[in-house]
Amino acid sequence: MQHRLIQTGLATLAATVLTLGMAACSSGSAEGSSAGSAISSERCEENKAAGTISYLSGYQFQSSASILEYIAASKLGYFDDLCLDVELKPGSGDTAQNTKLLASGQATVSAISQQDLIQAQANGIDIEGISSYSNAGLDILMTNPDITELTQLDGQVVGHKGYVPAAVQAMMVDAGVDWDSLTLVKEGYDPSVLPREQDGLAALTGFISNEPNQLKAAGDDVTVWQPVDYGIPSSLGAMAVNPAFAEAHPTAVQDVLRAALHAYDFCSSSDENAKQCVGYAAELSGGATYDTELNTTIWKTETQVAEDNPTPGQPFGGIDPENVSKLVDMLHQFSIVPPEVTAEEAAGWFDDSYIQAIYDGDELIWPAP
């Protein structure tokens, strides 16, 4: 699951955002280019006709993939360049709420993992998947270094944030762990409970870009187990759109993705650019309360995962239909969606035509035609 209330040590960030309310940040051209100067007048008018496009993040304005590049696209003026009026809204980390806001039209585009989109559709929530950066996900399992095989966890205590993510459970089961022998314990968001072996913990679920980085900074050594290494399906940086909006304004959907991917390239091209982009997120989040060092590490970790696990046969952001099929199988395995949901049906809930339209081979077309 994507950005499920990832705790980043920003103890007061949520309070700051609540103080701001759902304050929107309209895109502004920091680079000084005139609005719409990068595209044809015809396309500019089409995009203006889309009106205000509401982007809803997965979790606050954390510097994660699918969040930071949208902030940067706004601050760098890339949305303005394409005649797009985009407002940025911080999500609470409640993915189910995001899917409902998206389906109702209260949000236009939002960071929604492919698994969460399938679950939403299975529950009658109509949203459409439009991109994904990788078949790898953020969910991981951490163990202390004495665990060298997952089967050593048989009969042990495993901590989680409220539930064990399906991808982590699938990894453990496929590796031969006796699932019924485990004692599952809900823990808080302090990862130091693992090296301290609080509650007898032998393992703890987490997010690849968060807890391992916190523990490393604290000098604690843990082993990270990633579902992608076991062939378990997931997604990273996946985006979804309100279907009615997409049908009415296809060029706007294309160009929102185009601007975000252009910003992704900028923010990930150097340490200096990454720092600049994280600075934009810090400014949007209230400044002093934002842990820029940790958030820079989050961005670098997630973009590295995407680079290390490219989506096969797709340009960056393209949707892998085989991954969607595997996700349906995994969700069936753990009875998360009913058997009536087929891979063929789920494939219809994703549309990669928007991504395909903005690439020439593997090269992002910038600006728009």
Domain span including residue 256: 13-136+235-364
CATH number at residue 174: 3.40.190.10
Place 25 in a pLDDT band, splitting at 50, 70 and 90.
very low
CB-based contact 8:64 (threshold 8 Å): no
CB-count exposure of residue 366 (10 Å: 0-12, 13-18, 19+): middle
User: How is residue 342 written in tokens?
Assistant: 């087929």
40/179 same-domain check: no
90/73 same-domain check: yes
132/157 same-domain check: no
41/97 same-domain check: yes
| Number of domains observed in the structure of the chain | 2
Q: Model-level pTM?
A: 0.90
1 within domain boundaries: no
356/266 same-domain check: yes
Instruction: Give the pLDDT mean for 249-270.
Output: 98
Q: Is the pLDDT of residue 103 over 50?
A: yes
> Could you give the angle at which helices 250-268 and 292-308 cross, rounded to 10 degrees?
110
256/122 same-domain check: yes
7 within domain boundaries: no
Better-predicted residue by pLDDT, 202 or 29? 202
Instruction: Give the pLDDT mean for 310-319.
Output: 97
189 within domain boundaries: yes
Instruction: Give the pLDDT mean for 58-67.
Output: 97
6 within domain boundaries: no
Of 185, 208, 230, the last residue of a domain is 230
126/240 same-domain check: yes
3-state SS assignment for residue 354: helix
Q: What is the pLDDT of residues 75-86, one digit of tens each?
A: 999 999 999 999
369 within domain boundaries: no
User: How is residue 135 written in tokens?
Assistant: 């078949």
262/185 same-domain check: no
